[in-house]
Structure 1
Amino acid sequence: MRVAVITLVAGRHRHLRLQRDGLAAGTRQPDHYLVVTMADPDAGKALDGRRPAAETVDVPVGPGGRLPLAAARNAGAARALADGADLLVFLDVDCVPGPGLLARYAETAADGALLCGTVAHLPPPPPEGYRLGELPGLAPPHPGRPAPGDGEVLRGGDHRLFWSLSFALTAATWRDLGGFCEDYTGYGGEDTDFARTAAARGVGLWWIGGAPAHHQYHPVSRPPVEHLDDILRNGALFRDRWGTWPMEGWLRDFADLGLVVHEPGTDTWRRTPETR
């Protein structure tokens, strides 16, 4: 089985370098390592002289500077498949794979399944940065997701819990799903849509023990007010496609801040007049 690792990059080169160090320390090396850049011409320089060897794939950013996350994942997958990949492993640029991640994904892979390993969110690093060997002791897996034991596979997972930080699927399953919907641009919604498509087509969600990833710290806003317009636009697209709104927790938080209002008659969330 030929394994491709695909990660999207728009900055955070220090995080990217540690991800690559994690791959190099793994019990199984990727056959392809594809770094998909979005308005980040310097990403390739951040990887010079490091192993495993990486190939960069450039994806243009559209109007308004919104990152084309769905299109970028599709571009990375297309290149991997053209190079003969049998298994696609997607890692967020902030995620450092544990030493057994690729091996576990490869040995548990099956057509008709989305594979998700555990993800632990790390505390802020010390001034000298994270030490690769110390990552497992810094944080437990995220409490909002299942955390199977090292040799365990939990089948029949809830597709609403899927996230794109760390997941894998076979080439045949990717082709069956058709990739991510590229109508989504900017922040939010495209991974929820992908999981909904998987559920609709009978592709199961499996939680894989022994495939941990460690998410490097970066500041976040709660709720993510800087992404308000993206969430409203992508949320409306999701509603049009599936009949319900995603990210409702954030929408309610925005409403509590007086930023948005829900119109029940049309099931529409909009900016309040004073914030338009």
Structure 2
Amino acid sequence: MTQSFSVVTIVKGRTRQLRNLIRSLEHSNVLPAEVVVVWMASPCEDSLITSQHFPIHHKFVAHDTLPIPKARNKGFLGAHYDKAVYLDVDCICSADMLEHIVQSVIPGRVVTTQIKYLEVLPEHVDYKTLAKDAIDCPYTPEQPLNQPISFRAFHTTSFALYINDFENVGGFDESYCGFGVGDVDFAARCEAKGMHLFMLPDKILRQFHPRVDPPINHLSDIVNNAEIFKRKWGQYPVKHWLTEFAKEGFIYEEYPTRGLRVRRLPTQDEIHAHMTTRPY
């Protein structure tokens, strides 16, 4: 059964994850009226992917290295329906998750889900089978379900809201470039507008991909974006990352008083040493 809502996702190089996401959407009890895929790369064979279950609209924002806020905005503003569900390209959904999340969206509310992590990039999208081996992040505080919670629990892995609310908030601030902080700013502006965050019992699965922890490969982006956030909101975001950067000498430990700037860039050996197979 198709309902009148859009699914939005953005992608750069994770085409296998994208195909898995689309296959999981095809198995949903309630199908989206459209899927909007925004590519942070030039057109390629994978950007022609289609589905027999719903139209897929491919859009492109390829003039910057990693234009995450621009890509998200292009996806939401390119949606044709009143409600939009944003799913990270790494997501795999249960059969009833879309139905639950769309039913829970009302004006003034952002709806999100819990996350479980896969330790492999799956070859299939059988949610029930995959969920048996998925793990929780031990560092994520447990949140009350089906009631308003702090926007500190907001994440961009999966969330849904009315397009009118997205526009009222102003979308994602495109002053933020590349990786990090833009999601924290979006949550802060939702809260400032008086919106409410609801977390559902549903657990979305997040596909594995190698990553750098802490993300020193995105050091310059994070430092620049954190400074923008500080000027807007009067405090630094992502302090757990900044603390780790300071410990390793990439930024000054006195950044809260001296100002935040890059002290030195990581070497390729350091980036390689920080690669982790931990999924969260």
Tell me the TM-score normalised to structure 1 length. Answer: 0.88
Write the mapping of 1:213-228 to structure 2, written as runs, cut at 5 A: 213-228=204-219
Match of 1:15 among 1, 14, 17: 17
Instruction: Return the letter of the residue paired with 1:229.
Output: S
Distance 2:230 2:124 in 1: 40
Residue matched to 1:107: 103
Identity %: 30
Residue matched to 1:170: 162
Distance 1:234 1:170 in 2: 27
- 1:262–1:269 contact (8 Å) kept in structure 2: no
Write the mapping of 1:1-276 to structure 2, written as runs, cut at 5 A: 2-42=4-44, 44-45=46-47, 47-48=49-50, 51-62=53-64, 65=65, 67-80=66-79, 83=80, 85-125=81-121, 129-133=123-127, 134-143=129-138, 144-146=140-142, 153=146, 155-210=147-202, 212-263=203-254, 266=257, 268-272=259-263
- 2:119–2:207 contact (8 Å) kept in structure 1: yes
- 2:118–2:133 contact (8 Å) kept in structure 1: yes
- Deviates further, 101-110 or 138-147: 138-147
> Unaligned 5+ residue runs, structure 2?
268-280
Q: Secondary structure at the match of 2:152?
A: helix
Per-residue CA deviations over 1:54-74 (Å, capped at 9, x if unaligned) read 110111333xx2x11111111
- TM-aligned CA distance change 1:145 to 1:273, over 3 Å: closer
Instruction: Return the letter of the residue paired with 2:13.
Output: G
Distance 1:227 1:158 in 2: 27
Distance 1:218 1:55 in 2: 25
- TM-aligned CA distance change 1:173 to 1:157, over 3 Å: same
- 1:9–1:40 contact (8 Å) kept in structure 2: no
- TM-aligned CA distance change 1:130 to 1:270, over 3 Å: same
CA RMSD of aligned residues (A): 2.2
Tell me the TM-score normalised to structure 2 length. Answer: 0.87
Distance 2:131 2:260 in 1: 40
- TM-aligned CA distance change 1:18 to 1:30, over 3 Å: same
Instruction: Return the letter of the residue paired with 1:243.
Output: G
Q: Secondary structure at the match of 1:34?
A: strand
Q: Secondary structure at the match of 2:261?
A: strand
- TM-aligned CA distance change 1:237 to 1:114, over 3 Å: same
Distance 2:61 2:264 in 1: 35
- 2:39–2:61 contact (8 Å) kept in structure 1: yes
